[in-house]
Amino acid sequence: MMDKLFKPFLDQLCIDLSNPLPGRDAQYRMAPAPRRGDDLYYDTPPTNARRSGVLVLFYPYFEQLHIPLILRPTYDGVHSGQVGFPGGGYEAGDLDISATALREAYEEVGIQSSQVTVLGQLSPLYVFASNNLVHPTVAWTAKRPIFHLDPREVDKLIEAPVLDLLNPANQRREEWQLWGRVAQVPFFRIQDQTIWGATAMMLSELFALPAFQSIKGGVQSLR
């Protein structure tokens, strides 16, 4: 039933992901400005960059599309206390970078890969702060997953309705002290959580795809 309800959207999304992607221009719409130092240096992965995979999973919940996000615990690291997608570093046993995303999503929040259909990938995004080249895998599951959180990796699960993320009222910009300078930082604000940086940039490219344009314009609804 849910597959039928969301089929037009999912069909268009598959087409979008198989076509040329919006890429860096769309990512930069949610990037802090000014960028730190030289864009080419900070946005170009070096040869020793770690490949990572994250999972952008759509699922129905109360007849709305949702995406699971996680709040990282506080720890001694650059992504401490930040909101992101489930994911992590590529390992030798992974068949490909989508397998990395699925494995990490299972380890962190219990998403079963057997229940997930991979739709495609967004553009890779280099994260200078952690020297990770992040590959977002976009996927779908017909039922809300039964989540099991690993407390070492996840402080909180955020089930984000797509309509809330697309709502302009939840897309903000503030002046922060960042990297030793004043920066204008765009972010999503939902469920008392701030989604910024690389995660916001990946969402920005996702929402630039044609599948989302009529939703933004209010022509159609996912409800």
Residue 120 or 33, more confident: 120
Cβ pair 212, 218 in contact under 8 A: no
Distance CA(208)–CA(210), nearest Å, equals: 7
Question: Is the pTM of the predicted complex or chain greater than 0.95?
Answer: no
pLDDT class of 220 with cuts at 50, 70, 90: very low
**Candidate CATH numbers 2.40.50.1040, 3.20.20.10, 3.40.50.1220, 3.90.79.10; the one for domain 2-216:** 3.90.79.10
pLDDT digit string, tens, across residues 48-70: 999 999 999 999 999 899 999 99
Cβ neighbors of 135 (< 8 A, separation 6 or more) are: 51, 52, 53, 54, 97, 98, 100, 101, 121, 122, 124
Predicted pLDDT at 77? 64
Cβ neighbors of 96 (< 8 A, separation 6 or more) are: none
pLDDT digit string, tens, across residues 14-55: 999 999 999 999 999 999 988 765 455 467 888 999 999 999
Distances (CA, A) of 24 to 88, 108, 128, 175, 199: 21, 28, 15, 22, 13
